[in-house]
């Protein structure tokens, strides 16, 4: 049966993730489609979704307009695999603070029991790349691209820490939900996208 993968297409790194997912399907020789998701109807046909990096406040607010955010929360709670990248991980989280301005009020999915710090490594000009590892999911070496990246200051029970950088938590997983602070879609390495496609395939069957 064909796998229906989606990328939330409100704002941010949409196209890059669509291309990476298509490459991952090809590399794994899995029959599937990748579509952009903007409406509850489009979301209803999806087996696994990437929430891309971008601007979390914008993505959250615009996703509320047509009721997408509410349906998205329901689908994830029912077990749909989701990969939240940077702003996407911010949206998935329960508690958010900004390193510079402190408490902020923004729409959140409130799904991943993590305490998150926005702009944890500084502003845009402090963006950087560094080698990181995600050993527990079979990715020992990966080029992490951090752009106004968040980090996780605390995790709730059963949230698995997948990676740390400079003592800060930068990737987590709980069952069907993965969050990463860096941008895998901006590298040519599709190993994390492949991991997500495999996870979606396994949980679907």
Query: Which of 86, 20, 28, 83 has its CA nearest to residue 58?
Result: 86
Least separation in angstroms between residue 143's CB and ligand GLN is 15
Count Cβ atoms below 10 Å from residue 92 Cβ, excluding itself: 27
47 alpha carbon, distance to own chain's centre? 15
Least separation in angstroms between residue 60's CB and ligand GLN is 9
Q: Which of 69, 83, 87, 178 is in the footprint of ligand GLN by CB under 6 A?
A: 87
What whole-number distance in Å separates Cα of residue 39 and Cα of residue 50? Answer: 14
Binding residues among 177-196 for ligand GLN as defined by CB under 6 A: none
Least separation in angstroms between residue 108's CB and ligand GLN is 11
Count Cβ atoms below 10 Å from residue 41 Cβ, excluding itself: 11
**Tally of CA atoms within 13 A in the half-sphere of 63 that contains its CB:** 29
**Catalytic residue status for 193:** no
170 binds ligand GLN (CB under 6 A): no
Q: Which is nearer to ligand GLN, 21 or 145 (CB)?
A: 145
Count Cβ atoms below 10 Å from residue 186 Cβ, excluding itself: 17
What whole-number distance in Å separates Cα of residue 70 and Cα of residue 183? Answer: 25
Which DSSP category does 152 fall into? Answer: E
What whole-number distance in Å separates Cα of residue 18 and Cα of residue 23? Answer: 9
Binding mask 46-85 for ligand GLN (x = CB under 6 A): -------xxxx-----------------------------
Q: Which of 86, 114, 116, 134 is in the footprint of ligand GLN by CB under 6 A?
A: 86
Stretch that binds ligand GLN, among 14-22, 27-35, 67-75, 86-94 (CB under 6 A): 86-94
From the list 16, 74, 77, 185, the catalytic residue is: 185
92 binds ligand GLN (CB under 6 A): no
Contact (CB, 8 A) for 133 and 163: yes
147 binds ligand GLN (CB under 6 A): yes
Active-site annotation, residues: 86, 183, 185
Residues at the site binding ligand GLN, with contacts judged by CB under 6 A: 53-56, 86-87, 90, 118-119, 147-148
């Amino acid at each position: 049966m064909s796998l229906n993968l989606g990328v939330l297409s409100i704002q941010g790194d949409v196209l890059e993730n669509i291309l990476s997912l298509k490459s991952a399907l090809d590399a794994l020789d899995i029959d599937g489609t990748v579509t952009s998701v903007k409406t509850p109807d489009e979301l209803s046909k999806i087996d696994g979704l990437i929430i891309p990096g971008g601007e979390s406040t914008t993505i959250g607010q615009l996703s509320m307009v047509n009721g997408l955010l509410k349906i998205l929360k329901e689908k994830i709670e029912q077990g749909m695999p989701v990969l939240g990248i940077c702003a996407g991980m911010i949206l998935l989280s329960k508690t958010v603070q900004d390193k510079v301005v402190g408490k902020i009020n923004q729409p959140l999915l409130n799904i991943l029991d993590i305490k998150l710090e926005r702009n944890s490594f500084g502003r845009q000009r402090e963006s950087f790349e560094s080698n990181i590892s995600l050993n527990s999911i079979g990715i020992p070496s990966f080029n992490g691209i951090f752009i106004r990246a968040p980090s996780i200051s605390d995790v709730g029970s059963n949230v698995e820490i997948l990676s740390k950088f400079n003592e800060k938590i930068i990737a987590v997983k709980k069952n069907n939900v993965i969050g990463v602070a860096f941008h895998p879609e901006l590298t040519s390495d599709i190993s994390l996208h492949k991991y997500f496609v495999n996870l979606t395939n396994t949980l679907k069957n």
